[in-house]
Amino acid sequence: MPRSALLSLAAALSLTATLTAQAPPRSEAVDALLPRPTRAVADLAAGALPLGRIVTIAVPAGSPRLREVGALLGAELQQRTGRPTRVVAGVAESGRRAEGALIRLDTSYQASNDEAYALTVGARGAAIHAASSRGALWGVQTLLQLLEPADSATWQFAAARVDDAPRFGWRGSLVDVGRHWFPVRDIERHIDLLARHKMNVLHWHLTEDQGWRIEIRRYPRLTAVAAWRTERDGTRYGGYYTQREVRHLVEYARQRGVTVVPEIEMPGHSSAALAAYPNLGCTADTIAVPNSWGVFADIYCAGKEETFTFLFNVLDEVMDLFPSPIIHIGGDEAPKDRWKECAPCQAVMKREHLADEEALQSWFMGRVAAHVAKRGRRVIGWDEVLDGPYIAGGLVQSWRDSSFTRAAVARGHDVVASPNAFTYINQSANQVSLASVYQFDPVPPGFDAASARRVLGGEVTLWSEHITSGANLELMTLPRLAAFAEILWSAAPRDLPAFERRLALRHLPRLRDAGFAVGPSDAPLATIAVRVDTSTRRAVVRMPALAAGVTVRATRDGSRPSAESLALSDGDAVDAPDLLRMQPFWGASPILEERRVAFARHPGVGARVTLRPLADARYPGTGTGSLTDGLLGGSEHGDGLWQGWWGPDLQAELDLGAARRVASVTLRCLQNVRSWIVLPARVEVAWSTDGKDWHDAGVARHTVPVSREGVVLQPFTVALPSAVDARYLRVTARSAGALPAGHTGAGQASWLFADEIIVR
């Protein structure tokens, strides 16, 4: 995809030279345009353009695409104002003005950038002269921003002259529908947002470990099996897009100037496909579609020809549905554990003289790219494709940091930049704020002109592990998408305060008026924690941050919270039930993931705990008494209920306050090897009546292999002999040591996680 060229400095200077030295007149509508145009001047002397009784949109005869653009403009005007509109071909201005506003669209604008346009608005009419129909679409979006109520009953366009063109040709947004699936209408609304912001690429992440979301008719089990998973509460979750729905969305996007780039992940992030077709994996073992996040060891087998037959057939159906010249084939986070143990994979490496498994992935991706090229398309892959040789002409999407943009360009590849620290707006706005998005530049410092031309543009990404509804998607998208749109479109110097003023003045109010959900720019949507009041030993809900419009609702009977469930307040006690389920809502729509708090009632609750060493500051649990607060952590190790130690053994001493009859002691631990968390090798328990003389009670071990995928919740229970009377208990968890060979962190220390010491 060629990069749209920026208007030359000389051309910009020549435009500026035509202006008088006097400061141009100000117009709120023109000042608030977003993204900032190359040049925009209010023309207050010309007078505003009233809509009148009917709006006429004139396009050249024999231009069906401009007629489509005119129809989109007419539909939007009618929806916003209630005024009737019509699109006509080749109409002259005479005889139309008396009926109402006349808007002319054509492609007569001469510019090297085919997305460029010039817009003029005055009392006699409006005209968009564009370099192509693409430029005409963006001119339409600017014109709509100039629409304002003249009074309580009439509408008008502010008078202005705008000359504009984008800085980058790839202005995209990734939407992940694999972790959570969004109905067709939600995808339409996201496309609408992209078009409003003059963004032109929807990167549609259609396949993941947790779900396959596109109908492939040759492989029906992809929608019968791979599109669905069983959640931890036993419910069935999933969905997919039929080919008819895909065609509809591709056409919906095309009409609005947005190209849909499909992504079919390979060779990793493929657990869902392997659940449907186990023979495509190295082991051919039957696996379930995962219901947890992370990276999984089972990936497509590179040594089986049937893998490539499957992928080629899938891609053929995908390319029949998507006219995009670019097809995304993933390539990220593909563990090589299975390949190292797979005889067919090793045979391919020997046959093809491949040095290692990274080279095997390069060979794998090269075969797929060659098949895509036969259809006249190009591939793009995540920056892990640079870990080995990468195919000539392949595009790279850099996500880890800008060093991978540099590496890709140095090796002769075009790049789409989306480094996670600036563009991963699925992260809370207090982690990736609007200000941090606004300071991003896809072109790394120091690039010469030739290198800069290799940077096609960028993408914001919306990975959906914690995005659970369409409203949630919009709350994460806005307002940060507006900042990203401006940095990709406009070459003007950055001015964050001025941008924020424009955003607040007109842009966000109009988005809200149009029914879009707007989230915070630098704060989380909802922060829900459970803390133990040290004076009363009661567990309470703490909600230090709730965005306006967000309500947390809860159930105490184990049922799923609904929009009608009890609303929680900060400080509410949560220690009454055995299970508390908490869900943030935006209106009637759930947002973010549900929080669950389970309780274990046992004699050790409230016991004083001495830890050696203290838990790591990143995973403190509920505080110093976390291991005896009665609160049980869930499968998310960052849920605020788990304590973590990186490297050392854990030793915890409990003071029960008085001698008690103790039959057993249990330490609950967690394993998630892809997050570097491994169960302790063993747990030792000792007891004492005075805290000085200690008696060994026993040792508990486990049989869970470190290679086990996903989350493992493991109790380590030691029974005391003859149910002794003890006041003090010592629990020692021995670290598993370094991460094993083959792990991405091989040789480094593993994490040990524990949430509760249960005394019976």
Indicate if the pLDDT at residue 489 is higher than 80: yes
pLDDT band, residue 21 (cuts 50/70/90): very low
Indicate if the pLDDT at residue 624 is higher than 60: yes
Rounded CA gap, 443 and 455, in Å?
A: 6
Indicate if the pLDDT at residue 97 is higher than 60: no
- In 96-139, beta strands by DSSP E: 102-106, 117-122, 125-130
Rounded CA gap, 502 and 217, in Å?
A: 48
pLDDT of residue 724: 85
Q: What is the pLDDT of residues 403-453, one digit of tens each?
A: 999 999 999 999 999 999 999 999 999 999 999 999 999 999 999 999 999
Q: By CB neighbour count within 10 A (0-12 exposed, 13-18 middle, 19+ buried), where does 387 fall?
A: middle
Whether the CB-CB separation of 521 and 484 falls below 8 Å is answered with no
More confident residue, 435 or 532: 435
Beta-carbon neighbour count of residue 585 at 10 Å? 24
Q: Please compute the mean of the pLDDT values over residues 682-689 and round it to a whole number.
A: 97
Q: What is the pLDDT of residues 101-111, one digit of tens each?
A: 999 999 999 99
Look at residues 633, 693, 628, 700 and name the one whose alpha carbon lies nearest to residue 664: 700
pLDDT of residue 691: 93
Indicate if the pLDDT at residue 688 is higher than 90: yes
Rounded CA gap, 362 and 354, in Å?
A: 10
pLDDT band, residue 636 (cuts 50/70/90): confident
Name the packing angle between helices 305-321 and 243-255 (round to 10°): 50
Q: What is the pLDDT of residues 644-670, one digit of tens each?
A: 999 999 999 999 999 999 999 999 999
Rounded CA gap, 372 and 261, in Å?
A: 13
Look-up: residue for tokens 């980058």?
Answer: 168
pLDDT of residue 10: 31
Among 297-311, 338-352, 558-572, the least confident range: 558-572
Q: Please compute the mean of the pLDDT values over residues 239-254 and round it to a whole number.
A: 98
More confident residue, 45 or 79: 79
Q: Please compute the mean of the pLDDT values over residues 602-624 and round it to a whole number.
A: 93
Q: What is the pLDDT of residues 369-383, one digit of tens each?
A: 999 999 999 999 999
Whether the CB-CB separation of 190 and 461 falls below 8 Å is answered with no
What is the share, in percent, of the chain residues with pLDDT greater than 90? Answer: 83
pLDDT of residue 281: 98
More confident residue, 577 or 516: 516
Rounded CA gap, 238 and 9, in Å?
A: 51
pLDDT of residue 27: 82
Rounded CA gap, 591 and 180, in Å?
A: 12
Q: Please compute the mean of the pLDDT values over residues 207-227 and round it to a whole number.
A: 98
pLDDT of residue 26: 66
pLDDT band, residue 535 (cuts 50/70/90): low
Rounded CA gap, 4 and 27, in Å?
A: 30
Indicate if the pLDDT at residue 601 is higher than 90: no
Q: What dihedral do alpha carbons 345, 349, 350, 351 form, nearest 10°? A: 90
Most confident of 126-135, 538-547, 705-714: 126-135
pLDDT of residue 222: 98
Indicate if the pLDDT at residue 152 is higher than 50: yes
Among 18-22, 84-88, 219-223, 619-623, the least confident range: 18-22
Rounded CA gap, 51 and 360, in Å?
A: 63
What are the two backbone dihedrals, phi and then psi, of residue 456, each rounded to the nearest 5 degrees?
Answer: -75, -25
At position 283, the amino acid (one-letter code) is T
Instruction: State the chain's mean pLDDT as an integer.
Output: 92
What is the share, in percent, of the chain residues with pLDDT greater than 70? Answer: 95
What are the two backbone dihedrals, phi and then psi, of residue 724, each rounded to the nearest 5 degrees?
Answer: -75, 165
pLDDT of residue 9: 29
Q: By CB neighbour count within 10 A (0-12 exposed, 13-18 middle, 19+ buried), where does 615 fall?
A: buried
Spell out the residues 6+ positions from residue 678 whose beta carbon is closer than 8 angstroms to its own: 671, 706, 736, 739, 750, 751, 752
Q: By CB neighbour count within 10 A (0-12 exposed, 13-18 middle, 19+ buried), where does 65 fall?
A: middle
Rounded CA gap, 238 and 180, in Å?
A: 8
Give the distance from CA 112 to its chain's centroid: 34
Whether the CB-CB separation of 740 and 706 falls below 8 Å is answered with yes
pLDDT of residue 118: 98
Most confident of 399-408, 533-542, 565-574: 399-408
Among 509-518, 672-681, 685-694, 702-711, the least confident range: 702-711
